[in-house]
């Protein structure tokens, strides 16, 4: 478990490598769980270790490695799950994608309690103030979850490399348009917290992610 900042922890899932984030409230033990991966026991131990009280689950998109433990946390803590409506179909296909990834397991498909349906929505969950914006390309419903200067980017944007695998539902041109829009919409000093790999400032991703720069330059 890596402490990113004084209120954000990143847990690296092991069954299938992905990042799950715990975002803590400044004034209480409340937290949000963002992109819970396949390792529910590992993730729950991280919550318990920090004496946190989850109040909601959010997924940047509907792939299995970002919703794998949603059902577990929904049941244990009786908390709501947020997902963009454009990824509802994708989330229901999670076990198909698990088989594609040759993982010998399956998940309980979670049912969202609150479905996001706009390009940009402001959410207030407890003391958390979030802005969630849909940036299609990696999937139809892929979103960036913004909390102040923190951008939980899912698989839209990485420190290194590109979030495109030719999976069903991916669209290269939409992803390119979305990334250009992200670059123009957020401050360079925002910290990008991706679904895989390490966190990085947006300005560094713009200048140092060579594969991404090549991708954006293709017409």
Q: What is the pLDDT of residues 106-162, one digit of tens each?
A: 999 999 999 999 999 999 999 999 999 999 999 999 999 999 999 999 999 999 999
Q: Which residue has the higher pLDDT, 5 or 29?
A: 29
pTM for this entry:
0.95
Confidence of residue 163 (pLDDT cuts 50, 70, 90): confident
pLDDT at 58: 98
pLDDT at residue 4 in the model: 67
Q: Give mean pLDDT, residues 89-102.
A: 93
Q: In the chain, what are the domain boundaries?
A: 2-217
- pLDDT (0 to 100) of residue 168: 76
Mean pLDDT of 69-91: 97
- How many Å apart are CA 109 and CA 79, to the nearest integer? 16
CATH topology of domain 2-217: Metallo-beta-lactamase; Chain A (3.60.15)
The average confidence (pLDDT) of the chain is 94
Q: Which long-range contacts link 177-181 to residues 24+ away (Cβ below 8 Å)?
A: 177/137, 178/135, 178/136, 178/137, 178/142, 179/135, 179/137, 179/212, 179/216, 180/216, 181/135
Q: How many CB atoms lie within 10 A of CB 1?
A: 14
């Amino acid at each position: 478990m890596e402490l990113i900042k004084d209120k954000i922890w990143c847990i690296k899932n092991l069954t299938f490598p992905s990042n799950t984030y715990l975002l803590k409230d400044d004034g209480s033990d409340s937290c949000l769980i963002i992109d819970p991966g396949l390792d529910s026991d590992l993730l729950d131990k991280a919550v318990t270790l920090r004496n946190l009280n989850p109040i909601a689950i959010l997924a940047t998109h509907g792939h299995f490695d970002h919703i794998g433990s949603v059902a577990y946390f929904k049941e244990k803590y009786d908390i709501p799950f947020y997902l963009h409506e454009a990824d509802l179909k994708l989330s229901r296909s999670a076990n198909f994608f698990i088989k594609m990834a040759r993982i010998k397991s399956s998940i309980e498909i979670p049912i969202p309690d609150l479905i996001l349906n706009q390009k940009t929505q402001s959410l207030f969950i407890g003391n958390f103030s979030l802005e969630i914006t849909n940036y299609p390309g990696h999937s139809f419903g892929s979103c960036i979850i913004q909390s102040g200067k923190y951008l939980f980017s899912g698989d839209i944007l990485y420190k290194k490399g590109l979030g495109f695998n030719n999976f069903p539902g991916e669209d290269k041109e939409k992803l390119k348009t979305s990334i250009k829009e992200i670059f123009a919409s957020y401050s360079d000093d925002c910290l990008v917290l991706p679904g895989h790999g390490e966190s990085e400032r947006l300005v560094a991703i713009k200048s140092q992610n060579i594969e991404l720069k090549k991708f954006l330059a293709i017409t």
